[in-house]
Chain A
């Protein structure tokens, strides 16, 4: 499932520099994303992982550098044409909404039909598929504000899926969910990648989960990429100590075979 097509990157960030209030968040950062994989962006709070995701989705504009999708600079694309190529689900917007799940998922068709044709009820196969793949069919007429956190998150993901884009980005999709719902979301993400070939970039907090579900782990620290590779190569005791500041033991997950860590203590730095 990895790197099955040409080796030309699908998405390419080149020398990205982004400052917020004069504070540099991303520093001369470059990254390539090949078509078809699940890439997890990781790092401590404030490492710039979310910022990198938003920059690649053009929700933020870098002061320097450029992001290319299929060889075209995304900064020059029209919003709607870009939204037909990639979807991003921002960190879950916790506003109670009195609209039904189906009405939310319908919004995913916006880039395909535009504001005026969105006045009509959208009736597209992509909507049914999105409801089905997320298991939200039974909930389609339920108001969003009557759902549990996990169900709501799945509804939002369904909206992004209905957008039918080859690239899907998710910003901490498992935050605030209990462990079962976290796994549900991650399994869904994995399935989207395997069954539909969707290229997925996801910001995650949980390193063990990232190792379990991603093909590639990219670790950021202070706005730079410090580790990049398969879970086996990235989730190591050295990385945990240097980047995340903890002493830990890395084991092999007896079921999945992926690396898994057990934290022991905080690294106390001198001075």
Chain B
């Protein structure tokens, strides 16, 4: 008996149960996500509409044209942010690292905002959003890395330069916002992050990249495990520390920028998702990376269910029917207190 317990990896069990629970949650949240909105659709109607039953034409339109793409985008964008956060937390060995840390989100948003304000009327502007976001995101990482290059690769310095660069980029976005008051609405949504009005066009520009980059991120778990033992230990294990870390930084940047291109700079989710995952399944990246991916996808979907439900309520109370809460506001509103709670808990246990 004792031996049985001794010989079982304590994280392994939580990992398996956790994955199952997360998948179940995905299913439930998908139904809720599709159900809620300005028109509430009951589960039977959802099933019938998905089965393309004739008399459900109205619901069928809403589900197929509006809700389903939004559901998928929420899941995948969340997953990308979660994986990016997990990668960054591993290689920086800092549990507070998140996709916004290196200024990636800010860089992507700035480029997007420049693009939509100045390249408006180019017709197919949306199609190029991922490329635009990547230019911003990767450009920022290169810049931050170049600035923080010194002796070795000092992670604290990297984070510090990243945060500063991020705030400079963010104020650039704010400047544009002040100059182009007519675009305030859409610029703000990019800055906060929102899933409103996300349809198949957006999904089409998200999934091909996700399909390539998420597996690459998951495959980096082997190197991440060595890297998170610290620079010297990783080097003594034969890891080309600089090159690996650099590759993983780029991976995280590409994941973040890809998500930002679809949904804007949604905060906190890429910090909290991996955090929850680490508490449940430990730090071995072979579990942590896939679990963070799934958990954060679930979190963003859940947050958007709330965003939609709240928007709906506001409508009922006779406020403007245009009011719809951006999901980024929900993640910030719920994420920050939740994070404080986690930190407080951690204090207690030590």
Contact = CB atoms under 8 A, between A and B. Distances in A.
Interface of A: 54, 57-59, 78-84, 87-90, 93, 95, 97-100, 102-104, 107-108, 110-111, 114-119, 138, 140-141, 143, 160, 163
Contacts of A90: 230, 232-233, 236
A100 B282 contact: yes
Contacts of B229: 93, 97, 104, 107
Nearest to A86: B236
Given A107-B229, A143-B282, A83 B10 contact: no
Interface string B9-34: 11100000000000000000000000
Contact of B219 (A54, A104, A116): A116
A84 B6 contact: no
Contacts of A140: 7
B343 to A, nearest CB: 15
A104 B233 CA distance: 11
Contact of A111 (B7, B9, B11, B238): B238
B282 A110 contact: no
Given A89-B236, A115-B226, A141 B219 contact: no
A84 B221 CA distance: 21
A163 B222 contact: no
Given A95-B93, A118-B226, A100 B9 contact: yes
Nearest to A21: B151
B56 to A, nearest CB: 45
Interface in B286-333: 286
B196 interface: no
Interface of B: 6-11, 93, 219-223, 225-226, 228-230, 232-233, 235-240, 244, 278, 282-284, 286
A107 B284 CA distance: 11
A108 B237 CA distance: 7
B237 A59 contact: no
A89 B237 CA distance: 10
Contact of B9 (A79, A102, A104): A102
B236 A107 contact: no
A79 B235 contact: yes
Tell me which of B6, B220, B278 has the highest count of chain A C-beta atoms within 10 A of its own C-beta. Answer: B6
Contacts of A98: 11, 278, 282-283
- Which of B11, B221, B233, B244 counts the most A-chain CB atoms under 10 A from its CB? B233
A82 B237 CA distance: 9
B236 A87 contact: yes
A102 B219 CA distance: 21
B251 to A, nearest CB: 13
15 contacts: A79-B239, A79-B240, A80-B238, A87-B236, A90-B230, A90-B236, A93-B230, A98-B282, A99-B282, A115-B222, A116-B219, A119-B221, A119-B222, A119-B286, A141-B6
A160 to B, nearest CB: 8
Given A116-B219, A141-B9, A83 B286 contact: no
Given A98-B282, A115-B226, A117-B222, A141 B233 contact: no
A53 B234 CA distance: 16
A184 to B, nearest CB: 21
A51 B261 CA distance: 47
A65 to B, nearest CB: 19
Given A98-B282, A119-B286, A141-B8, A110 B219 contact: no
A100 B11 contact: yes
Given A89-B233, A118-B223, A143-B11, 20 more contacts: A59-B235, A80-B238, A88-B236, A90-B230, A90-B236, A93-B230, A97-B228, A97-B283, A99-B283, A102-B9, A110-B239, A116-B219, A118-B226, A119-B221, A140-B7, A141-B7, A143-B10, A143-B282, A160-B236, A163-B237
A83 B230 CA distance: 16
Given A79-B240, A116-B222, A117-B222, A138 B6 contact: yes
Contact of B222 (A78, A104, A118): A118
Given A100-B9, A118-B226, A82 B238 contact: yes
Contacts of B9: 100, 102-103, 141
A107 B225 contact: yes
Given A90-B233, A93-B229, A83 B222 contact: no
A81 B237 CA distance: 10
A107 B37 CA distance: 49
B341 to A, nearest CB: 19
Given A59-B236, A163-B237, A118 B10 contact: no
Contacts of B8: 141
B237 A83 contact: yes
Contact of B237 (A54, A100, A103, A111): A111
Contacts of A89: 233, 236
A140 B239 CA distance: 24
Contacts of B221: 119
A141 B11 CA distance: 9
A82 to B, nearest CB: 7
Q: Which of A82, A84, A93, A138 lies at the interface centre, i.e. has the most chain B CB atoms within 10 A of its CB?
A: A93
Question: Nearest 6 pairs between A and B by C-beta?
Answer: A83-B238, A118-B222, A111-B238, A80-B238, A90-B232, A115-B223
A97 B278 CA distance: 10
Contacts of B240: 79
A99 B283 CA distance: 5
A50 B222 CA distance: 29
A140 B6 CA distance: 8
